[in-house]
């Protein structure tokens, strides 16, 4: 077994719970995809979560952050938060949760959701069993393992000169726009996903797709693409698709607001000086 004291990352993932939770464990309790938090949008202690008196449907061990063991819990869909607590979407919690805790909450919600939706075999409907060997559930009859599903996605800043392309989706609140993003389809490269999504959403053909960050193991990429020449939006296409429409903007606070949030798209790179300025409320 590898020497865990030499592990190169602050969080050590593992699927098997230790015998005792040890001191000051971390617990992410979800109702659906919403995390139980304090009214000031911070993570409650395990004692505070216990005091809600809500029994979890199931729990999962996530791993260890430093010396602290981390767990997730799926609460019943009708669970109510006590006074002083609330349930919040993780996107609401960017600014209040510690960055590492927020990242772990993102990991937790995916494992909770995977566990909830893979209780039965998709082939023979037999109840699945948790593997002792890895983070998977297997059908005892078919022996087919299912693992937490990863959904590679891309997000792209399409630039033209000092302008950036933003679009809005029908489910965004009024006045909110964002850079384009989407999931990578089977058999598609991240670069192809960028070209397809931008064309599907705005009828714009992008060519010079570059990575903004190195891909590494992170499958969610921020790319940027430059468009030469004049841009024409496909207005007929936009009309058919409802109110999704692209536009180029030259900054302004609302232009860089993240959907539904009082957060701003802060891109800390010298190639986006305007976005950095806009990121300051
Ligand atoms: Zn089966």
Give residue 212 CA to ligand 1 midpoint distance, Å: 43
Give residue 113 CA to ligand 1 midpoint distance, Å: 20
Is there a contact between 141 and 124 (Cβ–Cβ < 8 Å)?
yes
* Pairing mode, strands 163-168 and 245-249: antiparallel
Give residue 114 CA to ligand 1 midpoint distance, Å: 17
Query: What domains lie within the chain, and their CATH numbers?
Result: 11-117 (3.90.79.20), 153-278 (3.90.79.10)
**pLDDT tens sequence for the chain (281 residues):** 456 667 888 999 999 999 999 999 999 999 999 999 999 999 999 999 999 999 999 999 999 999 999 999 999 999 999 999 999 999 889 888 998 999 999 999 999 999 999 999 999 999 999 999 999 999 999 999 999 988 888 888 777 666 677 777 777 766 666 778 888 899 998 788 888 888 888 777 777 776 655 443 333 334 445 444 444 333 333 333 333 344 544 444 344 444 443 333 333 232 333 333 333 33
Give residue 138 CA to ligand 1 midpoint distance, Å: 8
DSSP state of 112: H
The tokens for 77 are: 């869909």
Is there a contact between 28 and 98 (Cβ–Cβ < 8 Å)?
no
CA distance 52 to 59: 16
Give residue 145 CA to ligand 1 midpoint distance, Å: 9
Element (H, E) at 197: helix 190-202
pTM for the complete prediction? 0.69
Element (H, E) at 226: strand 220-226
Helix ranges (DSSP H) in 75-117? 99-117
């Amino acid at each position: 077994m590898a020497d865990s004291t030499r592990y190169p990352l602050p969080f050590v993932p593992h699927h098997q719970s230790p015998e005792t939770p040890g001191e000051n464990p971390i617990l992410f309790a979800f109702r659906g995809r919403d995390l139980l938090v304090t009214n000031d949008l911070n993570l409650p202690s395990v004692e505070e979560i216990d005091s809600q008196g809500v029994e979890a449907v199931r729990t999962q061990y996530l791993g260890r952050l430093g010396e602290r063991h981390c767990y997730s819990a799926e609460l019943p869909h009708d669970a109510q938060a006590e006074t002083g607590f609330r349930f919040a979407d993780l996107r609401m919690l960017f600014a209040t949760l510690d960055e590492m805790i927020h990242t772990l909450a993102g990991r937790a919600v995916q494992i909770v959701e995977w566990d909830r939706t893979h209780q039965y075999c998709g082939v023979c409907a037999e109840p699945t069993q948790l593997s002792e060997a890895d983070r998977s559930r297997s059908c005892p009859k078919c022996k087919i393992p299912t693992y937490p599903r990863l959904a590679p996605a891309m997000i792209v800043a399409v630039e033209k000169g000092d302008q950036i392309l933003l679009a809005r989706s029908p489910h965004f609140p009024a006045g909110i726009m964002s850079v384009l993003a989407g999931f990578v389809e089977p058999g598609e490269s991240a670069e192809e996903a960028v070209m397809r999504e931008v064309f599907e959403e705005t009828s714009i053909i992008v060519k010079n797709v570059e990575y903004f960050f190195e891909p590494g193991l992170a499958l969610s990429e921020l790319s940027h693409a430059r468009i030469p020449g004049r841009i024409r939006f496909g207005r007929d296409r936009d009309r058919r698709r409802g109110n999704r429409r692209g536009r180029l903007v030259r900054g302004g606070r609302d232009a860089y607001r993240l959907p539904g949030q009082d957060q701003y798209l802060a891109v800390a790179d010298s190639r986006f000086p305007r976005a950095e300025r806009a990121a300051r409320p």
